[in-house]
Amino acid sequence: MINYPKGVKAGFSPKKKSKKNINYGKRGMGLEEMINQANHYYLAKKIAVIHKKPTPITVVHVDYPDRSMAKITEAYYVKPSTTDYNGVVNGHYIDFDAKETKNKTNMPLKNFHQHQIDHLKNVINCGGIGFFILAFTSLSEYYIFPASKLIELWQEAKQGGSKSIEYEIVRQQGIKINGKIIPSLDYLPALKTFFKI
């Protein structure tokens, strides 16, 4: 039996909700989606030009069920992609990737790949700005972290060092991205502050 107007079953007593401080910002939106939204905003406001790079594939077979519709039915990756994003901010070339973890204490280095490390080394050596956006989703915290530091940690791991980046290292050697409504992950202010651009 339903009692109206509350719409609950007769005799039903809901449990009291805990009064924890819960942050509902950015809930349901993935890291990549937040970055894409920010990039669209920056382009619309003529602040920066930053795009997601397409993954390089070779098409093997295409079906044409209709003259106006083509459907790729078979393809393969040509080679590993480099990083997810690149662009220009205040006349500076930037190149970065985004990684996230549910861990509260560290970011596993297995989330990164050798071809990304090699690519960002080349970017830095040519005068570009290389970095990562690191998300600790359980903490709802996002950081700009320099590729140069990650490359150093990657080399240490290959020589038997830690297989993860400690949260404290990210917090101390990166810069936190402050939350905003539009865009929800406004990472450019943190980037400009960190790299002084």
DSSP 113-180: -HHHHHHHHHHHHTT-EEEEEEEETTTTEEEEEEHHHHHHHHHHHHTT--SEEEHHHHHHHSEEPPP-
Give the CA dihedral 113, 53, 56, 118, nearest 10 degrees.
-30
CATH of the domain at 189: 3.40.1350.10
- The answer to the question of residue 189 being in a domain is yes
Structurally, the chain folds into a number of domains equal to 1
**pLDDT of 10-55, one tens digit each?**
444 444 444 444 343 444 469 999 999 999 999 999 999 999 987 7
- Joined together, the tokens standing for residue 123 give 């970017």
| 112 part of a folded domain | yes
pTM as predicted: 0.77
Could you tell me if residue 26 is left (phi over 0), alpha (psi between -120 and 50 degrees) or otherwise beta? left
**Enclosing domain of residue 178:** 38-53+81-195
